[in-house]
Chain A
Amino acid sequence: MASVSQTLRPPLVAGDKRPAEVTRDICAALDRRPGAGWWAMFLPAFALLLLGVTAVTYEIATGIGTWGLNRTVGWAFDITNFVFWIGIGHAGTLISAILFLLRQRWRTSVNRSAEAMTIFAVLCAGMFPVIHLGRPWFAYWMLPYPNARGSLWINFRSPLVWDFFAILTYFTISLVFWYVGLIPDLATIRDRTKPGLRRRVLEILSLGWDGSYRTWQRYETVYKLLAGLATPLVISVHTIVSWDFATAVIPGWHTTIFPPYFVAGAIFSGMAMVLTLMTVARKAMGLEDYITVAHIDKMAKVTLATSLMVGLSYLTEFFTAFYSGNQYEEFVFLNRALGPFAWGYWIMLACNVGIPQLFWFRKVRWNPFLVFIVSVFVNIGMWFERFVIIVTSLHRDFLPSSWAGYAPTSIELATLAGSFGLFFTCFLLFCRFVPVIAISEVKGVLSVGRSRQPAGRRPLRSGGATEEASVLG
C-alpha cells in the first residue's frame, strides 16, 4: 500500500477535502458580509481610484501639458503604465490557456483569479492609449469605420493600429474565456441562492446550466477551443506591443529582439503579480488548502525561468549594440547604464535579474512571505524596465541639441496610482462576488479516492467530483 501511494504525485489540494467542503470553502467569501479586512483594503483602493479619476479628468480638461513630457520625450509614464499593465495581463491567459493545453493540473487553483487579474490589468492598460492622446475625444478615429469624411481611413502601417486590434482581441478573448470557465461555478452559486433577484441574474448568467453529461461535454469542447484560440494571443499581444518600439528608428527601440524579450518580460511580470495577489488572497480568504505552498513553488519556478530569459535579453541588447558598431546604439546603452536615468536601469536590473535568483532556493520558494516580497520587487522592476526602455531611449537620441530630461508631475503620479486603484478595486470586488477559485475544476483534482483511510472520510457518494458540482449545494 505504502509503495503505491508513494508513486502517486503529492496531492494538489491539501486537507483531504470532500467536494462539498470545496464548494462551502470557496463560496464562504461570497456568503458572508465583508469583514473589516476587506474594507481595509477596498477603501484605500477605491480612494486611489478616485484620485486617478480626478487626475485624468484634470488632464483631459487642461491638456497633456499637465504631464512632464516635452518635445523630446513624448511618451513616459503613460506608455510605461500601458505596457506594464498589458504585461501583467499576460499571466492569466498563460495559466488558463497554455497550462490547460499542457495539462498542468495545478493551474486549477489559480486560473480563475489569474484570468480575472488579466481582465482588470488589460482594462487598466487600455485606459492609457486613450488618455494619452492629445485629443482623447477623437480616439475612435483609430477605428477603421466607414465614415462621411471623404476617403479618410486609418494607417495600417502604424503599429498603433496593430496595437489597437491586438489589445481589443486579447481583451475580448480573455473576457469570454473567463466567463465560459465561470459558467459551472455560477450555476453552483445559483443553486445555493434563495429565489430572488440575485438568483434570477445568476440563472441568466449561468446560461441554463444543468450539470448534465451533455452540458459538460459541450462546455469542455468550448473551453478547449477557446484555450487553443487564446494561446497565440499570449504571444501576439506583447509582440505587437513591442512593435510600437521595434519599428521605430530611435536607437534603443529599433531592435529585432523586442518581441521575444517583451513576451518573456510579460510572463515574468504577470507571474509575479499572480504571486503577489495569491500569497495575500490565500491567507486573507483562508484558502491555504487550495492555493498551497506547492502552487506557489511552481509559479516561483516559472518566475525564475522568465527572469533568466529577461536577463538574457538585457545582455543580448548590450551585446547587439556593441557588436553593431552603430555609435547611436552603443551610446543609448551606455547612457542607460551610466546616464542620468542610470538609477532606473539599476533598479530594473536588481529587481528583475538579481532578486529573483533567490528562487533557486527551495526555502525561499516554500515561504509565501518571502515569495510575496520577491514578487513585489519583480513588479517594481518590470515597471522600471518599461520606463527605462521608453524614457532613456527617447531622452537622448540622435541630435544632442534636442536632448532633454524628464520628471513626472503630480498628475502623472496620481494617474499611475489611480490605475492601481482601479485594478485593486476591481479585484477586491471580484473576490466578493465571484468564486476566486474555479470550484468545478478544483473538484477534479481532489484527493478523493487517493486513500482508503480513514473510511469515514470517504465521500458520501461515488462518482466524479465534477458531476457533483451542481448537485451538492
Chain B
Amino acid sequence: MAQDGQIRYWKCLEERNGDAAWLAASRDEFPEPPLVRRPARREFLQAAGFVFGGALFAGCSRAPVEKLIPLPEQPEELVPGRATWYASTCDACPAGCGLLVKTRDGRPIKLEGNPEHPVSRGGLCAVGQASLLGLYDSLRFEQPLLEGRAATWEEVDRAIGEKLDAIQRNGGAVRFLTGTVHSPTVLASIQAFLGRFPDARHVVWDPLSSAAIPDAHQRTHGVRRLPRFFFDKAAVIVSLDADFLGAWISPVEHTAAYQAGRRMEQPGAEPSFHVQFESRLSLTGTKADRRVVVRPQELGAVAARLAALIAERAGAKFDAGEAPPPVSGELLSELADRLWAHRGRSLVVSGSQEIEVQKLCNLINQLLGNYGRTLDIVRPSWQRQGSDAELQTLLEEMEEGRVAALFIAGLNPVYELPASARVRERLEKAPLVVSFAERPDETTKLAHFVCPDHHFLESWGDREPVAGVLSLIQPVIRPLASTRALVESLAVWMGEPRSAYEIVRQHWRTRFYSGPDDEAAFREFWERSLSRGFVELETRRLEPPGRFDAGQVRAPKAAPQAPAGEFTLVLYPKVALREGRHAYNPWLQELPDPITKVAWDNYASLSPATAERLGLAEGDVVRIQTSDGGGAAVEVPVFVQPGQHDGVVAVALGYGSVLTERFAGIGPQWIEARPDTGGDGRVGVNAAPLLTFAGGTVRYDRAGVRLEPTGRRYELASTQMHHTITVPERLAPPGGERRPMIQETSLARHMDDLRAGRLWEEQERTDLWPPDHPFTGHRWAMVVDLSACTGCSACVVACQVENNIPVVGKDEVRRKREMHWIRIDRYYAEDGGQLRVAHQPMLCQQCEHAPCETVCPVLATVHSEEGLNQQIYNRCVGTRYCANNCPYKVRRFNWFEYSHDDRLANLTLNPDVTVRSRGVMEKCTFCVQRIHEAKIEAKRRGEAPADGAIQPACQQSCPAGAIVFGDLNDPESRVARLWRSPRRYQVLEEINVRPSVTYLKLVRRDIEKEERSPAHG
C-alpha cells in the first residue's frame, strides 16, 4: 500500500477493489441520472416562448421614471435639503422692497423681506409674498406672439426690426408707455432705444396714480418729484385721505416707519399723533388717533383752513377762502396748535389727486419747516413717477393716429384706463403695438406683438426706489419658458444683442462704480452689492428744488353740495389686489380684505345710514350710474361699511379682468358647488371705466353718481360675519355687550405703568394637579402687539406660502371653510361718535391646557416638551372634535382633497411642510419646521439658538414688527421681556387654557383726555 511513501485513500470498497462497473461510472460527470429530464427541442422552444412572451407582456406597462436629485455634478452651494438664500428686490409694485429669496433644490419657494434693506426694513407685504406664485403661473406666455399666434423670437425680432426700420425712415412717432420705472438700467436702455428715432418719448403712467403730488411740487418747488416721506420722524401726522399703511405708494416702508415712530415700550417714548381725514374707512384710518370723515371734495377746504391756521401762527398770510370746512373749527385749531408745536417734526400728506389740495399740503409742510426733515424732495422717492398729463397727450396723439409704434410695458391700459379714454379704439389705430406683458390680458389681445418679459425672479435687474438706494435683482432660477428680458429685447432691436446680465453689470460699472478701473476691483464691488442686495450711493446729481412759490397756492372753491340722491363715487385699491395687476393670483384673491373681511369680490360700500335710507342690505346688487351721460355703469353688490361718509359709495379697483377667468373651477367640484366666478366668468367687476380725467390728473373720486337697485341678490364671500361689532345688542346679556378679547389702555396710563416700572403680574393660581408640562428646555411663545398691528395681512399670505395652505375658492369661503392658519380678526367699537377699529391676528394659541388635546380620541394632537401643540396629520381620523372644542376657532379641516393639479404651481410647495390630505385637521404650528432648522443648526455649532434666530413666517413678513416669537425660558429674550409688559393680556384668559400667545393691549389716545393731561403738549 504504502509504496513510494504515499498513502492512498479510498472512499469505498469498490474503489479499493477496482470494480470495473464502478470505475466506468465514476468517469461519468453525472453518475446519477439528472434530476431534470433533458428537454426535448419542442419543450425548450415552448419554455423559451413562454419566458419571452411573459417578459414582453410584463414590459408593456412602463414603469414611471422617477428621478431623485439628478445632480451628478452638484453645484458647490447646493446642498439637498438645505435652503439657499439670495438677496434681490421685489418687483410686484414700484415700492422696491428688499427681498431675500429662499430657494430649495434650485427653485424659489418663499420670498422674505431683507432686514437690512433701507426701504422696507425687513417686512414684505401680502402682494410681495404672493408674487412668488406668478413665477410658477402655468398660464404665463411661454413664447412671443406675432399677431396673436405663437412665434419664435427670431420671427418676432425680424418682423419688429423691419417695422422699426420703416418708422425710422419715415420719422414716425414712437411712444414707450410704462408704469413707474426706477431701474437705472431699464431707463437707460429705453432712452438709448428711443434715441434712435426722431420723434420718440417715454410716457410714464401709474394705474394707481399719485401724479398730483409731483405735479404740485412742480408748481410750488419747481421740480416734478414725489417726496420721500419719513413717518418715523414725524411726531404729528396729518393724512388727508392718504392710505399710506394700506395700498398707497410704499406701504411696507411707510408701515415700518410709522410704527417706528409709535414705539411705546420705553418710559420716555412719545408715540406720534395721527389724524386721518377720509371718506371711507381705510386701513390707515383704523390706526389713526383721530379719524374725521369728510367727502373727498371737502379735503380742499380742510387743507385750506389748516393752512390758514398754520399761516396765522407762522405770521404769514393765507386766505382760506369762503369754503366752510366740514369739521369743527375747534378740532382744526387744536390740530394746528399741535402741528405748530411740532414744527419740523410733523408731516401732512394727502392722497388726493387734486393738485390744489397737494399744493396746500406743500404750503403747510413748508410753513412747518418739514421739508428736509420729515419729507425730502432733495433726495426724493422714485416710487411714483407717472404723469397723467403725459398720458392724456399720448391718448390724443393716438386718437389722431400720429403714433406709429407703441410699446407697452408693465401696464394693461385697456383694462386700467377709464371708459372715456377709449383705449381699445385708439390702440387699433396704431400700426405697431408691442406688449411686454407676462401673461395674456386685455391689452395683449390687441397687441401686434407680445414679447413676454421674465418674471423678476428669473431676471437680472436693478431698482432705485428712493434716491440713493440702488437695489439689485438677481435671477434665482433659469427662465421657465421662452421669455426674454425687456432690456435684452431692446438691445436686440437696437442691433447690439447682449444679455441682461451684461447690460446691468456694464451699466453699473460705467455709472455707479467709482473705484479703481480694473475688473477685479469692480467684481468685488459688484459681488458685495449682489450679496447684500443693495448699495447706498449717490447715483445722479439732481437739480436742487427752487424757492417755494407761495403764489401758486390758492384756496379751493367751495365744493357744491351734492343733490339729493347723488353720491360721490370713490374708487380705491385694496390691500391685496391693488390696481389688478396681480388679479391672476389666487392667494391674493382669497386674502380677505382687512376691513370688510370679504374675499374674492369687490362691492359698493355704503354707510349704514345710507344703506338704511335706500332700503339696501348687504348683497343687494345695485347699478352705479354716472350722471354725465358717459354711459359707464357697473353693477356690484352692496356692502354696508361703518365709518364711511354717508354721501360716498366706494368700489375697489382691480377686479373683473380677464386674468381672473382662470378661477372658474378653482374650488372643489361637488354636487352643490357653486361657481367661483361671476356670470361673465370673472371675479368681481372692473370699476376702472368709472375713472375720470379732471384738472390734469386721473381722479379716483367722482361726484354725481346714482344708485339703482337691480332687485338681484349676490352672496359675498366673507370670512367674518358682518356687523359683529361684538354681540348683537338684542342678544347681549346684561353687562356682556363687550367681550374682552380686545383690551385697551390709554396712553397716559400705559406711560404711568412704564414710569413706575410696573410689570404684568402673574396671578396666584392654585391647581389641584401638578403641571402637565414642566417645560425644562425651550418654551416657545409669541407676543402680538395690537397697537402695532395695522391689519395689513402680509402675515396671512406669508403663512399660506410657508405652510402649503391650499386655496379653496369663493364658494368654500362663502361656506366659511377658508384654510388660513392665521387670520386678522377685525372688531368695531363706537365711542362718542368715533368708530374704533381693532385688528387682532388670531392663530393657534398653543395652549398649555389645550382643550383640543384632551378630546382627540386617537392622540393626533399632543403637546410637545417645548410648549407646541402639535398636530399629527397622519394619525388624524378627522372627528373635528378638537376644532369644536377650540375656544379660538383656529383649527382648519380639510373638507375636500384640495387641488394640487397644477404641477407648475406645486413648485411653490415648501418641502419641509406636509401637504395635508382630505379629512385631517390642521392649524398653525408656530412654523415648527423653522424651529427645528434653527435648532439643528445651533446644535451643529454647539450653542443654543440665538434669540431672534427663529422667526415664524408671520413675524418675518410683518412690516410693523407686531409679532415677536421666542423662547420664554430665556429671561433675556425679547419675547420674555414683552411677556412681562404691563400691557400684556391673554385672550379668553378666564377659561384658563393658558395660551402661549399673548397680546399687548391696544393703546388708545383720546384727544380730549390728552388736552387735560399736562404731560403732553
A binding-site residues for B, Cβ under 8 Å: 58, 62-66, 68-72, 74-75, 132-136, 138-139, 141-142, 152-155, 157-161, 164, 244, 247-250, 327-328, 330-331, 334-335, 338-339, 394, 397-405, 409-411
Q: How far is the CB of A67 from chain B (nearest CB, A)?
A: 8
A71-B817, A403-B724 given; A63·B856 CB < 8 A: no
User: Counting CB contacts under 8 A, is B532 at the interface?
Assistant: no
From B732, B858, B887, contact of A398 by CB (8 A): B887
B733 touches A247 (CB 8 A): no
A64-B895, A64-B919, A409-B672 given; A142·B827 CB < 8 A: no
Q: How far is the CB of A330 from chain B (nearest CB, A)?
A: 3
Nearest residue (CB) in A for B888 is: A399
Most buried by B among A135, A157, A161, A249: A249
A63 touches B854 (CB 8 A): no
Q: How far is the CB of B1 from chain A (nearest CB, A)?
A: 67
Q: Which residues of B contact A249 (CB under 8 A)?
A: 851, 885, 887, 991, 993
A158-B857, A248-B884, A248-B885 given; A401·B724 CB < 8 A: yes
A68 touches B731 (CB 8 A): no
Q: How far is the CB of A140 from chain B (nearest CB, A)?
A: 9
B889 touches A331 (CB 8 A): no
A397-B887, A397-B889, A398-B888 given; A133·B877 CB < 8 A: yes
Q: How far is the CB of A337 from chain B (nearest CB, A)?
A: 9
User: Counting CB contacts under 8 A, is B41 at the interface?
Assistant: no
Q: Which residues of B contact A334 (CB under 8 A)?
A: 731-733
Q: Which residues of A contact B880 (CB under 8 A)?
A: 64, 69, 74-75, 132, 134
How distant is the Cα of A69 from the Cα of B891 in the complex, in angstroms? Answer: 14
A330 touches B736 (CB 8 A): yes
Nearest residue (CB) in A for B725 is: A400
From A141, A154, A335, A404, contact of B731 by CB (8 A): A335
Using a CB-CB cutoff of 8 Å, which residues 709-750 of chain B contact chain A?
A: 720-721, 724, 726-728, 730-736, 739, 741
Q: Which residues of B contact A58 (CB under 8 A)?
A: 671
B731 touches A134 (CB 8 A): no
Q: Which residues of B contact A158 (CB under 8 A)?
A: 854-857, 881
Q: Which residues of A contact B817 (CB under 8 A)?
A: 65, 70-71
Q: Which residues of B contact A62 (CB under 8 A)?
A: 670, 896
Q: Which residues of A contact B668 (CB under 8 A)?
A: 63, 65
A401 touches B826 (CB 8 A): yes
Q: How far is the CB of A242 from chain B (nearest CB, A)?
A: 14
How distant is the Cα of A72 from the Cα of B815 in the complex, in angstroms? Answer: 10
Nearest residue (CB) in B for A409 is: B672
How distant is the Cα of A369 from the Cα of B732 in the complex, in angstroms? Answer: 44
Most buried by A among B728, B875, B894: B728
Q: Which residues of A contact B818 (CB under 8 A)?
A: 71
Beyond the given A74-B893, A132-B880, A398-B991, could you list 11 further A-B residue pairs with CB under 8 A, ordered by the A residue number? A63-B894, A70-B815, A71-B817, A71-B889, A72-B889, A158-B854, A161-B857, A334-B731, A400-B721, A400-B739, A402-B889
Closest 3 CB pairs of A and B: A134-B878, A134-B919, A327-B736
Q: How far is the CB of A65 from chain B (nearest CB, A)?
A: 3
Most buried by A among B825, B883, B894, B988: B883
B893 touches A154 (CB 8 A): no
From B735, B854, B891, B894, contact of A134 by CB (8 A): B894
Q: Which residues of B contact A411 (CB under 8 A)?
A: 671-672
B893 touches A64 (CB 8 A): yes
How distant is the Cα of A410 from the Cα of B891 in the complex, in angstroms? Answer: 26
A70-B815, A250-B885, A399-B889 given; A152·B736 CB < 8 A: no
User: Counting CB contacts under 8 A, is B859 at the interface?
Assistant: yes
How distant is the Cα of A141 from the Cα of B876 in the complex, in angstroms? Answer: 9
How distant is the Cα of A63 from the Cα of B920 in the complex, in angstroms? Answer: 11
A75 touches B884 (CB 8 A): yes
Contact string against A for B residues 848-879, beta-carbon threshold 8 Å, 1 for contact and 0 otherwise = 00010011111100000000000000011111
Nearest residue (CB) in A for B849 is: A249
Nearest residue (CB) in B for A130 is: B877
B670 touches A135 (CB 8 A): no
Nearest residue (CB) in A for B816 is: A70
Q: How far is the CB of B920 from chain A (nearest CB, A)?
A: 6
Q: Which residues of A contact B892 (CB under 8 A)?
A: 71
Chain B interfacial residues counted at CB < 8 A: 65
A248 touches B855 (CB 8 A): yes
Most buried by B among A139, A164, A248, A394: A248
A64-B893, A158-B854 given; A134·B815 CB < 8 A: no
B672 touches A66 (CB 8 A): yes
How distant is the Cα of A270 from the Cα of B999 in the complex, in angstroms? Answer: 50
Listed by A's residue number, 8 A-B pairs whose Cβ atoms lie within 8 Å are: A74-B884, A133-B919, A134-B893, A155-B859, A160-B857, A247-B854, A248-B851, A400-B724
Most buried by A among B671, B855, B888: B855
How distant is the Cα of A398 from the Cα of B987 in the complex, in angstroms? Answer: 10
A154-B859, A394-B884 given; A63·B918 CB < 8 A: yes
A331-B732, A334-B731 given; A404·B854 CB < 8 A: no
User: Counting CB contacts under 8 A, is B921 at the interface?
Assistant: yes
How distant is the Cα of A141 from the Cα of B842 in the complex, in angstroms? Answer: 32
B884 touches A250 (CB 8 A): yes
How distant is the Cα of A399 from the Cα of B878 in the complex, in angstroms? Answer: 23
Q: How far is the CB of B244 from chain A (nearest CB, A)?
A: 26
Q: Which residues of A contact B842 (CB under 8 A)?
A: 399, 401
A154 touches B671 (CB 8 A): no
User: Counting CB contacts under 8 A, is B155 at the interface?
Assistant: no
Q: How far is the CB of B944 from chain A (nearest CB, A)?
A: 29
User: Counting CB contacts under 8 A, is B165 at the interface?
Assistant: no
Q: Which residues of B contact A397 (CB under 8 A)?
A: 887, 889
From B731, B875, B987, contact of A331 by CB (8 A): B731
A400 touches B895 (CB 8 A): no
User: Counting CB contacts under 8 A, is B897 at the interface?
Assistant: yes
B875 touches A152 (CB 8 A): yes
Q: Which residues of A contact B741 (CB under 8 A)?
A: 398-399
Using a CB-CB cutoff of 8 Å, which residues 781-827 of chain B contact chain A?
A: 812, 815-818, 823, 825-827
Q: How far is the CB of A32 from chain B (nearest CB, A)?
A: 43
Q: Which residues of A contact B724 (CB under 8 A)?
A: 400-401, 403
A135-B876, A135-B877, A327-B739 given; A69·B854 CB < 8 A: no
B920 touches A135 (CB 8 A): yes
A330 touches B733 (CB 8 A): yes
Q: How far is the CB of B75 from chain A (nearest CB, A)?
A: 38
Nearest residue (CB) in A for B667 is: A65
A404 touches B721 (CB 8 A): yes
How distant is the Cα of A135 from the Cα of B895 in the complex, in angstroms? Answer: 11
How distant is the Cα of A72 from the Cα of B856 in the complex, in angstroms? Answer: 17
Using a CB-CB cutoff of 8 Å, which residues 873-927 of chain B contact chain A?
A: 875-881, 883-885, 887-889, 891-897, 918-921
How distant is the Cα of A161 from the Cα of B892 in the complex, in angstroms? Answer: 22
Most buried by B among A74, A157, A159: A74
Q: Which residues of A contact B840 (CB under 8 A)?
A: 401
B883 touches A155 (CB 8 A): no
How distant is the Cα of A331 from the Cα of B729 in the complex, in angstroms? Answer: 11
